[in-house]
Amino acid sequence: MSEKPEANLKYPTAAPLSTDAFVARLERVHRLLWLVAAGVLGNRVDADDVVQEATMIGLQKRAEFDPDSNFKAWMVQIVRNVALNHGRKVQRRQANEQASPVVDAALDSTSTASPVDERGSVMANQEAFDDRVLGALRTLGETARACLLLKTVEGLAYAEIADALGIPEGTAMSHVHRSRREMRKHLSDVAVGGGR
């Protein structure tokens, strides 16, 4: 009786990527990775940091990557996970920073300190979008924003967006369609109202 070889599903059977091969593939998809990070976070500086952190993770885990599979999709998932974790950390930090002045003011009745809400502030050093567009982008959910940026800025097909974000193709189409409508509405409201 012969034994069937046990399939190793966790690790690829091909030799892992060399550092040079990893870097070469990374260079081809770097812009896409940055757009995914920026789409999730809505912040240029943090997007750069997230891509750098994701690159280090990918480099460390390259032995787990099957060189015959889709490198772009693999790295997009790493970037997306790092960006989501980063966003949660920032939200917790902001909540703690905002809570502290409120608590201090409540405890000290003579205090005139008020909390500063930084959630809606616009980065002073952003260059890709004007303030109105950035404000409109921030009204979108993270997945919707990522779909819109990948379609309009990077020009990806819906199937590529779906693959990159791990969502159905129809969902990617819906996000892009609704996001464009929301952006038009928000930008026309801002133009009519003279800004918000």
pTM, two decimal places: 0.52
| CA–CA separation, 157 and 49 (whole Å) | 26
- Residues 61 and 71: their CA atoms lie apart, in Å, by 12
Name the CATH code of domain 129-196 (choices 1.10.10.60, 3.90.470.20, 3.40.50.300, 1.10.10.10). Answer: 1.10.10.10
Looking at residue 192, its pLDDT comes to 56
Listed in sequence order, the residues at least 6 apart from 18 whose beta carbon sits closer than 8 Å to its beta carbon are none
Indicate the CATH number of 12-119 among 3.40.50.300, 3.40.50.620, 1.10.10.10, 1.10.1740.10.
1.10.1740.10
Residue 115 binned pLDDT confidence (cut-offs 50, 70, 90): very low
Q: Report yes or no: 161 and 76 within 8 Å, Cβ to Cβ.
A: no
What percent of the chain lies above the pLDDT cut of 90? 19
